[in-house]
Amino acid sequence: MDSRISARALTAALGGWRTREPAYEALADGIRLLCLDNRVAPRTTLPAERALSSALGVSRSTVAAAYRSLRETGHIASVRGSGSVTLPLHRHDPGRAEASDGMIDLQQASPKAWPGLAGVIADAAASPASLVSRVGYDVFGRHELREAIADRYTRRGVPTTAQQIVVTTGAQNAIHLVSSVLVARGDRVVIETPTYPHAAEAFRRAGARLVGVPVTTGDGWDLDRAEQAFARTLPIAAYLMPDFQNPTGRSMTGADRERMARAAESAGSVLILDETTADLDIDRDTASLGVADGDGFGGEASVVRIGSLGKTVWGGLRVGWIRADADLARRLVAARSAHDLGTPEFEQAVATRLLERYPEIIAQRAVVLREGRDAAVASLSRELPEWHVPIAEGGVSLWVGLGEPLSSALVMDVRARGVLLSAGPRFSVDGGHDRHLRIPFTGPPDELSRAVGALAEGWRRVRGGAPIAYAEQFDAVV
C-alpha cells in the first residue's frame, strides 16, 4: 500500500531547501535528495501543489515547476486525480558504485576489508564437514563465538558470560531486534542528534517517539539537556554511541558516562550502547576517559551493548552481537524468529577465528584510519580553510562545519560530478544540521584528496548561487 507524506512533514524534512535560484530547481533538488537518502520512500504520494506551496510560503507555480522537473528526471510520476508519487530510482545504489564507474563513494563510512580476511575465510572453508554437521538454525549463536565475545568484554572490565551474548546478522539487525523487544508504540527513546540515521529509523519503526539530545564536536553531549530529557519524559530507553560517536567523532569522558548513567537509572531507562566504532582508536589516550574499571556505565541489568565486525573487519561480513543480562538475552532470542532464524554458520566460524587475531586487526585499522584522516584534514585545510574541521581521535568520519546551511545543496552539486556524500540533515532527529557535512576518512588518501577538491569547486558554485536574503535569514538563526 502506497504511503503519503503531508505538506507539513515534507516541509520539515526539506529544512533549508532554498539554497539557490531558481527556487523551483532548489526545491526539486531538495526532494531529490530526500528520495536518494530514502527519507522519502518510493511509492510515496507527495502533497498537492496548493498544500505544499502554502506550507513552504512560495507560489503554486514554483511547486508546479519543481514537480515538472522531478518528472523529467524520473523521480516522480503524476497522474491526474491521483497526485504525484515518488518512483523507485533506476540508478546505481549509492554505496555500491564500482570503481570502474569513476565514482567516489563517501556515503558508506566503512573501510575496505582487513587484508588478512581472505586467509581467514580460506581457513574456515577448509573444514566444511564440521560446519555442515550442525543443524544450521541457531538463534543464540555458536557457543565458541559467544565465548570469544564474552571474553573480550570481561577483559575490558565488563564481566560477561556466553549466556549474555546473542549473535546477530550485523549491528543493524541487533538494533532492530532490541528495539522490537524493548519499545512499544508511543514509548519515548532518548537519542543523540546528530546520530546514526538507520538507528533512528529502527526505533521509529518500533513506534518510538524520539527525544533528541544534542552532541557537538566542540562540547560533546549536552548533559544538562540529557538529564532534563530523562527526568521529563521518563524514556523507556536511550540509544548512545559513547565512543567515536557517528557522525561527530566525539567520545564521552568518564564524568559524562557517570552522569548519563545516573540520569538513565533515575528514570528507569535502559541504556543501549552502540559500540560498533569503539575499537577504532587512532590516537586517543584511553586513560583520559577517567574510567578505572569497566566503561563507567555500571548498572549491568539496565545496559545493553551492541557490537559488530562491520567497521573493524569488513562491512560485507554481516556478524554482530548483543550483550545484555541473561533474562533480556532470552527475551531477545524468543522474539528473534519474527526477524530471522539465526546468523549463518560459516560467517560465525570466520568471526570466531577473527577474534583470535583482533589486536592485530585493530592495530592495522588504526594505521589505515590515521592515513585517511590526516589526508582528509590536510586537504580540507588547504582547499577549504573557512570550514571548521574538528579533531577526530578515532572513528570513521569528520563532522565538518560549513558555516552556512548549504550541506544539502553541496551534496547534490558534487553528486552530479561523481562524489557521493550524505548531507547533514540525514543525521538529524528533528531537523537541522544543514550547516554540517559528514566526510568519512575510511577511503584511500588519494581518493579523499580528490573528493575534497571536488567539494571545493562545488562549494564555490553553491555559495555563488545562494540567495542573499536566504543566507541572511539563516545567519540570524542559531
Confidence (pLDDT) at 96 = 41
In this structure, what C-alpha cell is assigned to residue 225? 539537556
| Reduced DSSP (H G I as helix, E B as strand, rest coil) percent helix, strand, coil of the chain, to 5 | 45, 15, 40
Question: What one-character DSSP code corresponds to residue 326?
Answer: H
Confidence of residue 131 (pLDDT cuts 50, 70, 90): confident
Confidence (pLDDT) at 332 = 96
Confidence (pLDDT) at 259 = 95
Confidence of residue 386 (pLDDT cuts 50, 70, 90): very high
The closest alpha carbon to 109, from 323, 376, 356, 350, belongs to: 376
Under a CB-based contact definition with an 8 Å cutoff, are residues 199 and 246 in contact? no
As a whole number of angstroms, the distance between CA 177 and CA 168 comes to: 9
98 has pLDDT over 90: no
**What ranges make up the beta strands (E) of 113-174?**
165-168
Under a CB-based contact definition with an 8 Å cutoff, are residues 310 and 317 in contact? yes
As a whole number of angstroms, the distance between CA 97 and CA 380 comes to: 24
DSSP per residue, 372-404: HHHHHHHHHHHH-TTSB----SBSSEEEEE-SS
Point out the least confidently predicted range of 341-345, 389-393, 437-441: 341-345
Confidence of residue 287 (pLDDT cuts 50, 70, 90): low
Alpha helices in 6-59 (DSSP H): 7-14, 23-36, 49-56
298 has pLDDT over 60: yes
Confidence (pLDDT) at 403 = 95
Tens of pLDDT, residue by residue over 403-457, are 999 999 999 999 988 999 999 999 999 878 999 999 999 999 999 999 999 999 9
224: buried, middle or exposed (CB in 10 Å: 19+, 13-18, 0-12)?
A: exposed
Q: Which residues contact 136 (CB under 8 A, 6 or more apart)?
A: 342, 345
Confidence of residue 299 (pLDDT cuts 50, 70, 90): low
Confidence of residue 121 (pLDDT cuts 50, 70, 90): very high
Read off the pTM.
0.87
477: buried, middle or exposed (CB in 10 Å: 19+, 13-18, 0-12)?
A: exposed
As a whole number of angstroms, the distance between CA 465 and CA 459 comes to: 10
Instruction: For each of the domains in the chain, give its residue range(s) and CATH number, in order of start.
Output: 3-86 (1.10.10.10), 99-109+361-475 (3.90.1150.10), 117-357 (3.40.640.10)
Tens of pLDDT, residue by residue over 173-207, are 999 999 999 999 999 999 999 999 999 999 999 99
93 has pLDDT over 50: no
Cα–Cα distance list, 432 to 63, 193, 204, 357, 439 (Å): 22, 10, 18, 42, 17
Looking at the chain, the whole-number percentage of residues with pLDDT higher than 90 is 75
Helix (H, G, I), strand (E, B) or coil at 70: helix
Q: What is the mean pLDDT of residues 351-372?
A: 97
**What ranges make up the beta strands (E) of 48-100?**
76-79, 83-86
Mean pLDDT of the chain: 90
Q: Which residues contact 228 (CB under 8 A, 6 or more apart)?
A: none
Confidence (pLDDT) at 138 = 81
Q: What is the mean pLDDT of residues 31-59?
A: 91
Confidence (pLDDT) at 294 = 67
